[in-house]
Amino acid sequence: MFQISLGAKRYDVIVIGGGPAGATAALYAARAGLATLVIDKGLTAGALGTTGNIVNYPGVPGPISGAELVRRIREQAASFGAEFVNDRALRAELAGPDKKIWGGQGVYTGRAVIIATGALGRTQHIPGEERLLGRGVSYCATCDGAFFRERQVAVAGNNDEAAEEALTLTRFASTVHFLSPTPVLQASPHLAGELRSHPRVVFYPAARLREIIGTERVEMVRFTSEGKEQTIPVEGVFIYLQGNLPITDFLEGQLPTSEGGCLLVDEHFQTAIPGVFAAGDVLCRHLKQAVIAAAEGAQAAMAVDRYLHGREKLRPDWSK
């Protein structure tokens, strides 16, 4: 279902984030005939990815896992022609008629953007993380992995994204020390299996990263794993931990946010920049529920349709 998209094409709309908001937006946009691309980190990268038993999504008696619910919405979007790329947004240029999103695997261009990145972001609070960013601390293995050929690196995280990035690093690094905050990985079984059995990976369960140590560059990491504190020498630290803040770092301040870091939109889900919309948990408008996020995604997509076609009134897309 997922096609690798290398960004040569100019899309009508790029959706950043493929959770219920983003996938529903993609469903509506694709069905309206818009060339749609979804940039997404993977089924378990978002809030629903780790939710087990959903029974209150209307129309789906369940229990259904969050990942399966999102998978179905994505399949539906893909059936109308939406394309998906497994990547993450690192940078964006949003002003003007052509919006550009830089990912780890390429640059994507679109006439409109819907930001549906959710709220699993974190503040940088590990001592040393901010200071050593770019000097051993990174959030992107595909970008920076090559700098660590035959070196030791650490990866902190526990989902599909972290696992995939760690596996990418095994192509370069001599050893990948995988620090999972949970005892068991919350990634898809085949990824978890591949990771755990890789000869270059050392797995530390229930590991909490305490400090990143180094003067000019990263030299060591200090962490506890299953209660025991350890310090190991590494030259790179790749961080994929999750928090509970709206993910807007890739915007680099181009859009105003509330005090809580939430994106601000008008009643049609448009941000301060024309052609840039947002939906879902990244808006922190309501309690986090899949159906609410989906509803916002649908509305944002319909607003994008209007924006792109310059129509005065929204055209409701009735299935009736």
Partner 1 sequence: MLELHLTAPERESPASGPEAGETGLYDLIVLGGGPAGLTAAIYAGRARLKTLVLTGYLPGGQPANTDVVENFPAFPDGVAGPELARLFLQQARRFGARLETDEAVRVDFSTRPFAIHTHKATYQGRTVIVATGVVPRRLGVPGEDRFFGRGVSSCATCDGFFYRDRDVVVVGGGDSALAEGIFLTRFARQVTIVHRRDELRATKIYQERAFANPKIRFLLSTVVEEILGDQTVNGVRVRNVKTGESRIVETDGVFIYVGMEPRTELFVGQLELNEQGYVVSDRRQRTNVPGVFVAGDVQDPLYRQIVVAAGSGAIAAMEAEKFLGEYPDVSNQPGSKAL
Active-site annotation, residues: 140, 143-144
* 77-81 LR contacts (CB < 8 Å, sep 24+): 77/23, 77/24, 77/26, 77/27, 77/30, 77/36, 77/38, 78/1, 80/27, 80/30, 80/31, 81/30, 81/35, 81/36
Q: Which of 60, 213, 232, 273 binds partner 1 (CB under 8 A)?
A: 60
* Count of residues in the chain: 320
Tell me, residue by residue from 82 to 121, as one string, x for binding to partner 1 by CB under 8 A and - for no binding: ----------------------------------------
**Considering beta carbons, is residue 200 or 288 the nearer one to partner 1?**
288
Angle between helices 66-79 and 20-31 (to 10 degrees): 10
Q: Please state whether beta strands 236-240 and 83-86 pair in parallel, antiparallel, or not at all (unpaired).
A: unpaired
User: Is residue 144 near partner 1 by the rule CB under 8 A?
Assistant: no
Q: Which of 113, 142, 160 minimizes the C-alpha distance to 307?
A: 113
Contact set for partner 1, span 264-283 (CB under 8 A) = 267
Angle between helices 66-79 and 290-309 (to 10 degrees): 20
In the beta sheet, which residues pair with residue 157? Answer: 240
Size of the site for partner 1 (CB under 8 A): 42
Q: Which window, 22-30, 167-175, 176-184, 187-195, contacts partner 1 (CB under 8 A)?
A: 22-30
* 70-75 LR contacts (CB < 8 Å, sep 24+): 70/18, 70/19, 70/20, 70/23, 70/43, 70/46, 71/43, 73/20, 73/23, 73/24, 73/27, 73/294, 74/1, 74/18, 74/23, 74/26, 74/38, 75/1
Q: Which window, 5-13, 147-155, 210-218, 290-298, contacts partner 1 (CB under 8 A)?
A: 290-298
Q: Which window, 178-186, 213-221, 241-249, 309-317, contacts partner 1 (CB under 8 A)?
A: 309-317
For the chain, how big is the Rg over CA atoms in Å?
Answer: 20
Q: Which of 28, 223, 250, 307 binds partner 1 (CB under 8 A)?
A: 28
Residue 85 and residue 109 in contact, taking contact as beta carbons nearer than 8 Å: no
**Considering beta carbons, is residue 8 or 287 the nearer one to partner 1?**
287
Q: Which of 14, 43, 73, 255 binds partner 1 (CB under 8 A)?
A: 73
Q: How far is the CB of 278 from partner 1 (least distance, A)?
A: 14
Tell me, residue by residue from 181 to 210, as one string, x for binding to partner 1 by CB under 8 A and - for no binding: ------------------------------
Q: Which window, 2-10, 29-37, 39-47, 162-170, contacts partner 1 (CB under 8 A)?
A: 29-37
Q: Which of 125, 190, 228, 320 binds partner 1 (CB under 8 A)?
A: 320
**Considering beta carbons, is residue 40 or 305 the nearer one to partner 1?**
305
Q: Which stretches of the chain bind partner 1, using CB under 8 A?
A: 20, 23-24, 27-28, 31-33, 56-61, 69, 72-73, 75-76, 79, 267, 285-287, 289, 291-292, 294-299, 302, 305, 314-320
